[in-house]
């Protein structure tokens, strides 16, 4: 059974691929039902297809908004572009769009969107006769309804069904509330829904204007039209037995962490692990209360006092990781190249390559070329060289206190380079999502900020006391600074850790006070 993941942008696509999706679905800048997502321009679609296909993952592109004549006129070029880019299938709902795609891009498979509300075998067969190879069934269908459809349609007509994520209070998403309550430009059927069904409402009695009364139902909730989120992780086997060929995770408007977490959980269960072992994982992402949708009866409403809940926050995404060199504190060898940080040959493979050596040709114990000539250059040797030179500080050497700190803090086994997404601290316990593994923890040490070449000198000076900033061998003009906290979003940091990480892995932290009741990622 195929695992189909949302990709609202390139980072989400990369996470979907990294954590085991078999296919992804995304949208261009037009014709998609999630206009708030980053989405992809024409060149971006081509790049996305190239990346996905290199990893054996299929790409489906949505063109499932309700089409007006002005939209239809642009479809031939759009579908031709998708075909030229190597897209595997177009997801359509409009009959005109279906006809145009079949005529102008015959190599594209045609998937019928859930927006078409296909709920019976006769309708499915009619679409099949028009060239549709897959039906994305309406979310209002029960599991028994799907099984009954499977028995009556051609064997090569695939069934795709949503299994996880947000649900719409309107039938198959066909809603006009946003059009009327906000404006036609924010209509749900053109991808701009303002989600008024999720709002918290009050009542005003006509003879008492300006005196709102809260809307409270028996269980204390006031989100009177908000639907629950779907979670079918525990019923993957039943979906397969009912004849579903592809299970689909909702969420093209969600961030990279949501995609990584949801795909990771469903991948593990599809690969044979018990669902109970991974249900808790789905509680770590931003979500409303879960239900099983319409598969086993009515899903119920989200009557909670919080529209979203999550206790975890994504703090970083791994760029690279490699083994550390033997501890120099123990007199280890100097490595000529560092897989951990991608340094060029000739740099010292240590957490602070140039922060330690200071890149000063005349500084005893701190010159890079001189250190490389030492067969067993230990920190003790550096300390002695610096301590014996009364002008060492003026020459740009690191302080003795920092040398002592290095000696007292031996390196962990691995050195990771990450892209910071939210604040985390040196020594803080971080959880790691990594494909094919259970969730595990690390505690980063020897944290270093890789300052960009345009970083403010004042920022560079705000470093841990006693630590000299040095040149960053990864970035021309960049600077390395040892720090206690990583707090610069989308900037690079590196640290030691005791577990091997892989590019694309997600780091997160349990942080209720930061996340509860908010929509993050």
DSSP string, 412-455: -SEEEEEEESS-EETT--EEEE-TTS--EEE--EEEEEEE-TT-
Cα torsion at 306, 312, 314, 316 (round to 10°)? Answer: 160
Q: What is the pLDDT of residue 235?
A: 97
- Match 């029960």 to its residue by tokens: 142
In this structure, are residues 356 and 382 in contact, taking their beta carbons and an 8 Å threshold?
A: yes
- Match 């008492």 to its residue by tokens: 208
Q: For residue 331, how many other CB atoms are within 10 A of its CB?
A: 15
| Total residues belonging to the chain | 521
**Are residues 117 and 248 both part of a single domain?**
yes
**Are residues 322 and 415 both part of a single domain?**
yes
For residue 24, the cross-strand partners are: 5, 59
Q: For residue 384, how many other CB atoms are within 10 A of its CB?
A: 14
Q: What is the pTM of this model?
A: 0.78
Q: For the chain, how long is the longest CA-to-CA vector?
A: 90
**Are residues 362 and 288 both part of a single domain?**
no
Rounded CA gap, 282 and 94, in Å? 34
Helix (H) or strand (E) holding 12: helix 10-18
**Are residues 254 and 393 both part of a single domain?**
no
**Are residues 399 and 267 both part of a single domain?**
no
For the record, the structure tokens of 455 come out as 């970083």
For the chain, the C-alpha Rg in angstroms (whole number) is 28
In this structure, are residues 494 and 418 in contact, taking their beta carbons and an 8 Å threshold?
A: yes
Q: How many domains does the chain have?
A: 2
- Match 């829904």 to its residue by tokens: 193
**Are residues 237 and 326 both part of a single domain?**
no
Complete DSSP assignment for 491-504: -EEEEEESS---TT
**Are residues 161 and 284 both part of a single domain?**
yes
**Are residues 290 and 155 both part of a single domain?**
yes
For the record, the structure tokens of 28 come out as 């261009």
**Are residues 115 and 85 both part of a single domain?**
yes
Instruction: Please indicate, yes or no, if residue 336 is contained in any of the structural domains.
Output: yes
Instruction: Please indicate, yes or no, if residue 413 is contained in any of the structural domains.
Output: yes
Q: What is the pLDDT of residue 340?
A: 36
**Are residues 325 and 277 both part of a single domain?**
no
Q: What is the pLDDT of residue 39?
A: 86
For the record, the structure tokens of 23 come out as 């296919």
Report the sign of the C-alpha dihedral through residues 149, 150, 153, 156, in that order.
positive
Instruction: Please indicate, yes or no, if residue 418 is contained in any of the structural domains.
Output: yes
Rounded CA gap, 495 and 480, in Å? 12
Rounded CA gap, 238 and 95, in Å? 32
The pLDDT profile of the chain, 521 residues, written as one tens digit per residue, is 999 999 999 999 999 999 999 999 999 988 766 656 678 999 999 999 999 999 999 999 999 888 888 888 899 999 999 999 999 999 999 999 999 999 999 999 999 999 898 999 999 999 999 999 999 998 889 999 999 999 999 999 999 999 998 876 666 666 666 666 666 766 556 656 666 666 667 777 788 888 877 666 555 555 666 777 899 999 999 999 999 999 999 988 889 999 999 999 999 999 999 999 999 999 998 887 888 988 998 776 666 555 555 678 999 999 999 987 544 333 333 332 333 333 322 233 333 333 333 333 333 444 333 333 333 345 566 566 666 766 655 444 445 555 565 555 667 889 899 999 999 999 999 999 999 999 999 999 888 888 776 666 556 544 444 444 455 555 555 667 778 889 999 999 989 999 999 999 999 998 764 443 333 33
Distant-in-sequence, close-in-space partners of 415: CB < 8 Å, separation ≥ 6: 321, 322, 323, 324, 338, 340, 341, 349, 351, 494, 495, 496, 497
**Are residues 425 and 353 both part of a single domain?**
yes
**Are residues 275 and 401 both part of a single domain?**
no
Domain span at residue 371 reads: 317-515
């Amino acid at each position: 059974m195929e695992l189909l993941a949302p990709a609202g942008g390139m980072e989400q696509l990369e996470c979907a691929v990294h954590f085991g999706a078999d296919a992804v679905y995304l949208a261009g800048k037009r014709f998609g039902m999630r206009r708030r997502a980053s989405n992809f321009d024409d060149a971006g679609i081509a790049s996305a297809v190239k990346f996905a296909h290199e990893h054996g993952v299929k790409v489906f592109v949505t063109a499932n908004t309700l089409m007006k004549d002005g939209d239809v006129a642009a479809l031939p070029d759009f579908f031709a572009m998708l075909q030229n880019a190597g897209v595997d299938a177009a997801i359509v709902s409009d009959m005109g769009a279906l006809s145009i795609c079949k005529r102008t891009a015959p190599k594209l498979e045609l998937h019928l969107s859930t927006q078409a509300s296909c709920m019976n075998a006769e309708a499915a067969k009619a679409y099949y006769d028009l060239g549709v190879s897959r039906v994305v069934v309406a979310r209002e269908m029960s599991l028994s309804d799907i099984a009954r459809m499977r028995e009556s349609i051609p064997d090569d007509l695939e069934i795709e069904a949503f299994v996880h994520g947000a649900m719409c209070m309107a039938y198959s998403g066909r809603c006009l509330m946003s059009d009327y309550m906000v404006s036609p430009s924010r209509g749900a059927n053109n991808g701009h829904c303002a989600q008024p069904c999720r709002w918290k409402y009050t009542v005003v009695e006509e003879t008492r204007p300006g005196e709102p009364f809260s809307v409270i139902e028996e269980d204390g909730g006031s989100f009177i039209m908000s639907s629950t989120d779907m979670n079918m992780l525990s019923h993957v086997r039943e979906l397969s037995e009912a004849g579903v060929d592809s299970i689909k995770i909702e969420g093209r408007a969600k961030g990279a962490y949501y995609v990584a977490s949801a795909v990771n959980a469903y991948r593990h269960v599809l690969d044979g692990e018990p669902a109970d072992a991974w249900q808790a994982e789905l509680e770590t992402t931003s979500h409303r209360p879960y239900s099983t949708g319409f598969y086993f009866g009515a899903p119920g409403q989200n009557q909670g006092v919080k529209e979203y809940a999550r206790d975890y926050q994504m703090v970083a995404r791994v760029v690279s990781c490699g083994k550390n060199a033997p501890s120099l504190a123990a007199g280890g060898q100097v490595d000529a190249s560092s897989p951990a940080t991608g340094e060029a040959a000739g740099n010292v493979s240590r957490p602070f390559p140039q922060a330690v050596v200071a890149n000063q040709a005349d500084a005893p114990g701190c010159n890079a070329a001189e250190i490389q000539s030492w067969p067993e250059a230990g920190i003790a040797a550096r300390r002695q060289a610096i301590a014996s030179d009364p002008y060492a500080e003026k020459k740009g050497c690191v302080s003795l206190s920092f040398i002592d700190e290095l000696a007292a803090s031996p390196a962990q086994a691995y050195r990771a380079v990450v892209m910071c997404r939210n604040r985390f601290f040196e020594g803080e316990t971080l959880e790691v999502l990594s494909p094919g593994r259970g969730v595990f923890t690390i505690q980063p040490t020897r944290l270093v900020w890789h300052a960009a070449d345009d970083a403010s000198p004042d920022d560079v000076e705000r470093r841990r006391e006693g630590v000299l900033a040095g040149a960053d061998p990864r970035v021309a003009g960049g600077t390395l600074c040892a720090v206690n906290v990583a707090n610069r979003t989308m900037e690079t940091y590196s640290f030691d850790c005791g577990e091997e990480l892989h590019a694309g892995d997600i780091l997160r932290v349990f942080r209720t006070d930061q996340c509860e009741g908010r929509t993050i990622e």
